[in-house]
Amino acid sequence: MLIFLIDIIVTPQFQEVIIKALHRAIEHFEEWNKLRMVTYITVMIADEYSDKLDPMKAQALYTKSLAVYAKDKWTTLEENIRTKLACIEEAPDGPTDVSTKE
């Protein structure tokens, strides 16, 4: 069996479409009061922003989600977010605001 890997180039315009769709999903889950899904989708939006679109916005969204996961004691997800925040901080063009560090 041959497996072909296709490298898909995601343009900023395509990322904006993804972000808009995710925002609509958040609206849906807020309507049904499914706050865990809202937080999960917020992380997905932050992932899109962190990929060269707007690292500062990604940092803000990750920080917001981190607070929810820390409060609910979701340690695995909390550590995942902390790792993503550290990657943004270490990036050469990453944000200079270090307000997420304790």
How many other C-beta atoms lie within 10 A of the C-beta of residue 35? 12
What is the residue-level pLDDT of the chain in tens, covering all 102 positions? 445 444 556 677 888 899 999 999 999 999 999 999 999 999 999 999 997 789 999 999 999 999 999 999 999 999 999 999 999 998 876 565 444 443
Say how far apart CA 26 and CA 34 lie, in whole Å.
9
Per-residue pLDDT, 93: 67
Per-residue pLDDT, 6: 47
Say how far apart CA 47 and CA 56 lie, in whole Å.
12
Per-residue pLDDT, 8: 56
DSSP for 22-86? HHHHHHHHHHTT-HHHHHHHHHHHHHHHHTTT-HHHHHHHHHHHHHHHHHTT-HHHHHHHHHHHH
pTM of the model: 0.78
